[in-house]
């Protein structure tokens, strides 16, 4: 069984505190798809995902972006 992500807990705390702009900024620089999926689970358990549709869209977009193969890699 995997451990809970500290990053997801911190972003959830930002949303619970009412700072959705900071949470969106953190979602845009998410460390991995696994962390984003854990965040979505935590937000859906606390009903915050339904209250913040922009966060729902941002997490979905970042999961797609991080899951896609890179078109260009810097040397």
Asked if the structure places residue 10 within a domain, the reply is: no
Closest CA to 24 of 69, 1, 55: 55
Supply the pLDDT for residue 72.
61
Q: Global pTM?
A: 0.84
Q: Phi then psi for 16, rounded to 5 degrees? A: -65, -30
Asked if the structure places residue 25 within a domain, the reply is: yes
Asked if the structure places residue 56 within a domain, the reply is: yes
Structurally, how many domains does the chain consist of? 1
69 DSSP assignment = P
Supply the pLDDT for residue 73.
58
Asked if the structure places residue 45 within a domain, the reply is: yes
Asked if the structure places residue 6 within a domain, the reply is: no
Domain hosting 49: range is 20-66
Asked if the structure places residue 3 within a domain, the reply is: no
Supply the pLDDT for residue 69.
77
Supply the pLDDT for residue 5.
77
pLDDT in tens, the chain (75 residues): 567 779 999 999 999 999 999 999 999 999 999 999 999 999 999 999 999 999 999 999 999 999 877 666 566
């Amino acid at each position: 069984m995997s451990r809970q992500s500290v990053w997801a807990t911190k972003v959830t705390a930002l949303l619970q505190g009412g700072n959705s702009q900071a949470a969106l900024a953190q979602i845009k620089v998410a460390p991995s798809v696994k962390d984003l999926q854990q965040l979505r689970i935590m937000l859906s358990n606390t009903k915050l995902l339904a209250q913040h549709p922009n966060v729902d869209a941002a997490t979905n977009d970042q999961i797609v972006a991080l899951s896609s193969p890179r078109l260009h890699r810097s040397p």
